Structure 1
Amino acid sequence: MRARMSQSKNFLIIFCVLALAPLGLCAKAGYGGYLYPQFYDHSCPKAQEIVKSVVAKAVAKDPRMGASLLRLHFHDCFVKGCDASLLLDSSGTIISEKRSVPNTNSARGFEVLDEIKFALEKECPQTVSCADLLALAARDSTVLTGGPSWVVPLGRRDSTGASLSGSNNNIPAPNNTFQTILTKFKLKGLDIVDLVALSGSHTIGNARCTTFRQRLYNQTGNGQPDFTLDQSYAAQLRTRCPRSGGDQNLFFLDFVSPIKFDNSYFKNLLAKKGLLSSDEVLVTQSQATLQLVKQYAGNQELFFEQFAKSMVKMGNITPLTGSKGQIRKRCRQVNK
C-alpha cells in the first residue's frame, strides 16, 4: 500500500513538472518540494469541498467576510511566506503577527478558519495545513463575491514561528509611497503587473477613516485640498471622517459595488475616487501602472485573468514543504 502511494506521489510530481508547471499551476518550493493542485486527492479528497462550504456560509452571514479572508492570505504571504504564521496567537516565545499595525487595523475572520480547521480535522486529522486553508479560502471568497476562479497549487506546511517585525514592515501600507509599495512587491518576487492586479482586490472590503484621513485634511494646515481626490467625493467622506475622532468608522473601498468583485475599482481610480493613497498612486505616480489601470477598467475579463495568475504567483511565495514546518492541529498554536 505504501509503495503504491509512493508511486502515485512520484507520478504526480512528474505530471506537475511536465504538464502543470508551464501553466503556473505547479510551483517548485524550497527544500525539494512541489506545490500541486492534486496534493490532497488521496489523503483528504473532500478538503476543498469542506473549505468552500464553510466559507460560503460565512460570506452569506457577513458580506464583509469575503474581503477579510482574501486579505488574510495576502497579509500572511508578505511576511515569512505563505506559511500561516499570521494565524498563530501569542504563546511562549511567539509574539503574534496579529498585534502588528496592519493586522490590528484590518485582520479579521480568524474564527472562520478555526471552523474550517475543525471540520477538516474531523474528516482527515492532521493532513491539511492551515497555510493551504488560507489559499483555498482566498480563492473561494473571490468566487463567492463574483470574481474569477483559479486552480490552487497545494502542499504548503505551517510555520512554527511568527514575525511581528516582518508583519509591521513587509506588508504594503495605505500611506506608503508608490516606490515603497513596488519595492515590497519585488522583494517577494512579484512585479508591477502583479501589483496593479492584486490591488484590484480593493473592489471589495472596507477601510477605516484613520487610513485615509490625510487625504481629506491638509496636513500643513494651509487648507489646500488633495486634488488627486474628487472634491465632491472628498466632501462626502468628511461627513463621517472628521479631523479628529471617528478613526474606526468604516468606508467601502469601492463605493460603486462594495460587495461585488468586479473592475469598478479601476474605473473609480480613473475618476479620482480611489479611497486610499496607495490606490491613487497607481494613476498619478507611474505611467506603467496607469496604463494597466486603464486596461483593467476597460476589460473586466482581462483583469480577472491576470488577478487569478497573480494570486497563484503570490500563493507560491516561499512556502514550507517536505519535512519543513508542520501540519498544525489548531491554526492558532503550534503542535505540542
Structure 2
Amino acid sequence: MAATTLALALPLLLLSLSSLVNSLSPNYYDQSCPKAESTITSVVQKAMTNDRTVPAALLRMHFHDCFIRGCDGSVLLNSTSKNQAEKDGPPNISLHAFYVIDVAKTALEAMCPGVVSCADIVAMAAKDAVALSGGPNWKVPNGRKDGRISLASDTRQLPAPTLNFSQLQQNFAQRGLSMDDLVALSGGHTLGFAHCSSFQQRIHNFTTQTDVDPSLQVSFAASLRKACPYNNKVNAAGATLDSTTVIFDNVYYKSLLQGMSVLATDQALLSVPRTQALVSKFANSLTDFEDAFVKSMIKMSSLPGGVEVRRNCRVVN
C-alpha cells in the first residue's frame, strides 16, 4: 500500500477498531450462553493431551484469521468448487487443529444454538492455548461476527517470515498495530515451529550454498543446517522457535539476544533501537512480557470483520 493511501486509510481503521472494541464485552455470553468459555477450555485441554502442537496451532490460527478481513473466522471456511478459501492459500497450508474448533462449535450448538460465533471460538481457544501452556489468562472480549468471504489470494497479506523490519512494521501498521504490538505478539513464537522453507535463506542462500546469516550464533546455525540440509525434501522438517516450545514463557526473547533467532522476522526485531529495547525488557521480565502480550492480543483480536453467526464453522449460513 502506498504511503499516502496508508495515511488516509489508517485513521478510518483505527476509528473502526475503536468502535468494535467498545462493542465487544468479556461478559457477552453471560446470559445467552454462560458455559461457552468453560466448554471451549475443556475442548482445548482435551485436544492438548492428545497433541502437544495444538496450542501453537490455535494461536497461529487466530493470528492468521485476524490479519485477513479482521477476526471473522474466515480462515475456517472450506474451499468450494467455485472458490479457493484462505486455509488453502500457501501460508496457511500448514495450519491445523481445525477439528478443535469444530468440536467446540458442535458442543456449543447443542447447548446454545446459533449464539456463539466461530470467530469468538477461535479467539477464546487461542487464549486457552496460552493459559494452558503456562502463560497468562485473561477475559476475552466477545461479540465478533463470522465473515462470508474467504479467498486464498488474500493470504498474500500475511507477514511472510522473510520480511525486513520496515516491511514488518508496515504490515502491522496497516492493521492499526504498533511496534510495541509487533514485539509483544512475536512472543507467541515461544510455542512455535517453523518448517525449513521458512528460514532456508538464512542458512544456505547467501554468497554460496555454505554461507549462513552472520547474525546467527555459530553452533545454533549448525543445528539448523543439520535439521534442514541444502535441497531438503522432507516437508515436515524444521525447527522449534525456542527451546521450551510447549511452555509459554520468555525464552524466545532470550534466544534472540543470544543469536538464536530462527526466522528473519525474529531477527528483525533487533534491527531498531526501540524494538531491541523491548526484546531486552521482555527477556529480563516475564511479567512485563505477559502484560504486554495480553494487551496486544486483545487489541489484535478486536480487528473488525464478520456479519453473521455460522452454525457450521466450515461453511457460510
TM-score, with normalisation over the residues of structure 1?
A: 0.86
- The count of corresponding residues between Structure 1 and Structure 2 is 300
Report the counterpart of residue 173 of structure 1 in structure 2: 160
Report the counterpart of residue 103 of structure 1 in structure 2: 92
Contact 1:69 1:141 in 2 (8 A): yes
- 2:164 matches 1:182: no
Displacement over 4 Å in runs of 4+: none
Compare 199-208 and 209-218 and name the one that shifted more. 209-218
CA distance, structure 1, for counterparts of residue 235 and residue 245 of structure 2: 20
Report the counterpart of residue 231 of structure 1 in structure 2: 218
Counterpart amino acid of residue 334 in structure 1: V
- 2:308 matches 1:326: yes
* Match 2:35 to one of 46, 57, 64: 46
Contact 2:206 2:212 in 1 (8 A): no
Shift of 1:148: 0.8
Report the counterpart of residue 112 of structure 1 in structure 2: 100
- 2:229 matches 1:242: yes
TM-score, with normalisation over the residues of structure 2?
A: 0.91
Report the counterpart of residue 133 of structure 1 in structure 2: 121
Shift of 1:302: 0.2
* Match 1:28 to one of 13, 19, 23: 19
Report the counterpart of residue 149 of structure 1 in structure 2: 137
Contact 2:147 2:305 in 1 (8 A): no
Shift of 1:70: 0.6
Gap regions ≥5 residues in structure 2: 1-16
Contact 2:120 2:142 in 1 (8 A): yes
Secondary structure, counterpart of 1:28 in structure 2: helix
CA distance, structure 2, for counterparts of residue 110 and residue 34 of structure 1: 27
- 2:233 matches 1:251: no
- Deviation string for 1:100-157 (max 9, x for gaps)? 11101x3111011110101101111111000000100000100000111121110011
Report the counterpart of residue 272 of structure 2 in structure 1: 286
Shift of 1:164: 2.0
Contact 2:136 2:290 in 1 (8 A): yes
Report the counterpart of residue 123 of structure 1 in structure 2: 111
Shift of 1:163: 2.7
Shift of 1:305: 0.2
Shift of 1:248: 2.8
CA distance, structure 2, for counterparts of residue 263 and residue 58 of structure 1: 24
Contact 2:128 2:137 in 1 (8 A): yes
Measured at CA, do residues 222 and 131 of structure 1 come closer, stay the same or move farther in structure 2, by a change above 3 Å? closer
CA distance, structure 2, for counterparts of residue 139 and residue 261 of structure 1: 11
Report the counterpart of residue 298 of structure 1 in structure 2: 284
Shift of 1:93: 4.2
Q: How many percent of aligned residue pairs carry the same amino acid?
A: 42
Please, what is the CA RMSD of the aligned residues?
A: 1.6
Contact 1:84 1:134 in 2 (8 A): yes
